[in-house]
């Protein structure tokens, strides 16, 4: 199919507030990450949704770089 990507019906999306809580940062920081392209997101109406996997991947990469 399309590599290791999950089918859309299996993708779990998080709100900006949920991402901020998981990452222990402010919502503004998450918005900056989305707008700068660091975190991929989709727009739903006036709000953004971030794939949970993208957050996990970001944290995994950041952890390795800090190690």
Domain positions in the chain are 12-64
- Arithmetic mean of pLDDT over the chain: 89
The burial of 14, by beta-carbon neighbours within 10 Å (0-12 exposed, 13-18 middle, 19 or more buried), is given as: buried
Count of other CB atoms within 10 angstroms of residue 48: 20
Mind listing the pLDDT tens digit for each residue in 14-41? 999 999 999 999 999 999 999 999 999 9
- pTM summary value: 0.81
Question: What's the CATH code, domain 12-64?
Answer: 1.10.1660
């Amino acid at each position: 199919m399309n590599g290791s990507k999950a089918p859309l019906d299996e993708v779990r999306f998080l709100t900006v507030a949920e991402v901020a809580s998981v990452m222990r940062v402010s919502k503004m920081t998450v918005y900056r990450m989305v707008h700068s392209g660091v975190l991929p997101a989709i727009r739903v109406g006036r709000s953004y949704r971030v794939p949970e996997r993208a957050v996990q991947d970001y944290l995994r990469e950041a952890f390795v770089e800090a190690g």
